């Protein structure tokens, strides 16, 4: 694992931790946004394993699906795409609301994704 990957994973874990704190404070929209960024930073760290560095969020998700579909649970990759849409709504729609259950699911997906990425990089 190189230094950039370490920093990206550190950022991913920090975003997840903040998401968990925001969930406890019932700041559900912001919680979802931070959880997504945890996934995003972890995905970028993993893509560096294949010297891939896409410039857009959709590019990261697309490359992840192409390059790691056999190493990362495909459901997590699919969820990342859905969570990215939620994140955009949470960040840009002033009347966005989300159920606590869904916010909890998002955090769980993010946590599992980050763990799978770490396992892939360490192998």
Q: Give the total number of structural domains in the chain.
A: 1
pLDDT per residue as tens digits for the range 36-89: 999 999 999 999 999 999 999 999 999 999 999 899 999 999 999 999 999 999
Task: Give the mean pLDDT of 17-28.
Answer: 98
- Other CB atoms within 10 Å distance of the CB of residue 54: 15
Determine the structural domain holding residue 69 and report its residue range. 3-122
Closest CA to 98 of 39, 14, 35: 35
For residue 11, CA distances in Å to 18, 67, 85, 97 come to 11, 22, 21, 26
Beta carbons within 8 Å of 36's beta carbon, 6+ residues apart: 80, 83, 84, 86, 87, 106, 110
pTM for this entry:
0.95
pLDDT per residue as tens digits for the range 74-98: 999 999 999 999 999 999 999 999 9
Task: Give yes or no for a contact between 6 and 49, defined as CB atoms under 8 angstroms apart.
Answer: no
Tell me, what's the pLDDT at 45? 97
């Amino acid at each position: 694992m190189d230094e950039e990957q370490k920093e990206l994973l550190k950022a991913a874990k920090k975003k997840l931790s903040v998401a968990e704190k925001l969930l406890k404070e019932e700041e559900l929209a912001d919680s979802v946004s931070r959880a997504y960024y945890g996934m995003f930073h972890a995905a970028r760290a993993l893509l560096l394993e294949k010297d891939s560095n896409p410039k857009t969020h959709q590019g990261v998700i697309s490359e992840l699906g192409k390059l790691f579909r056999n190493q990362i649970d495909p459901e997590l990759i699919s969820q990342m795409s859905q969570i990215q849409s939620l994140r955009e709504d949470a960040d840009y729609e002033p009347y966005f609301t989300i159920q606590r259950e869904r916010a909890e699911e998002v955090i769980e997906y993010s946590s599992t994704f980050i763990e799978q990425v770490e396992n892939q990089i360490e192998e």
